Amino acid sequence: MKKLPIGGWRLQAVQVAFVGKAEQAARMVTSNFASHEPYSRFPAFWGPNQVGQLDQSHGGITMTALQAMLMQVVGKKIYLFPAWPKDWDVYFKLHALYNTTVEGELCGGKVTSLKVTPESRTADVVNMLAK
């Protein structure tokens, strides 16, 4: 089977995160962020990929995948860490539907802080690492 590249505008990294495959999503996100154009002035200039030099889709898709690994929203439920590697520490502040902000920290596989604004939305948060 031919192995397709994962960078550029391809959605594999996002799709893998949405089905909860943490290890595969982590590999794809790490690979995508690491593959910058060596001749570019800034490491956030990717390419050449499918659309040419200074490909912005590459970074956009990778950031979307990273967020989908960390948080997904279905209806009013907010699922945290649905595809997050247990050995990755993270501090985050993300916005969700219904004017909700979720801010937290994960260290050593444990949630060390979590703040949901407004507090009334705390009941809608599901920690997928606890499952």
Would you place residue 87 in the very low, low, confident or very high pLDDT band (cuts 50, 70, 90)? very high
CA distances from 96 to 75, 80, 100, 108 (A): 11, 11, 5, 25
pLDDT recorded at residue 4: 47
Residue 108, Cα to own-chain centre: how many angstroms? Answer: 18
Share of the chain above pLDDT 90, in %: 63
Residues 69 and 62: beta-carbon distance below 8 Å = no
* Residue pLDDT, tens place only, 57-80: 778 888 999 999 999 999 999 999
CB burial of residue 130 (10 Å; 0-12, 13-18, 19+): exposed
What CA–CA distance (Å, rounded) separates 80 from 48? 34
Share of the chain above pLDDT 70, in %: 82
Give 17-41 as a DSSP string: HHTT-HHHHHHHHHHHHH-B-TTSS
The per-residue pLDDT of the chain, averaged, comes to: 87
pTM: 0.85
User: Which one is predicted more confidently, 117 or 130?
Assistant: 117
Domain ranges of the chain: 12-130
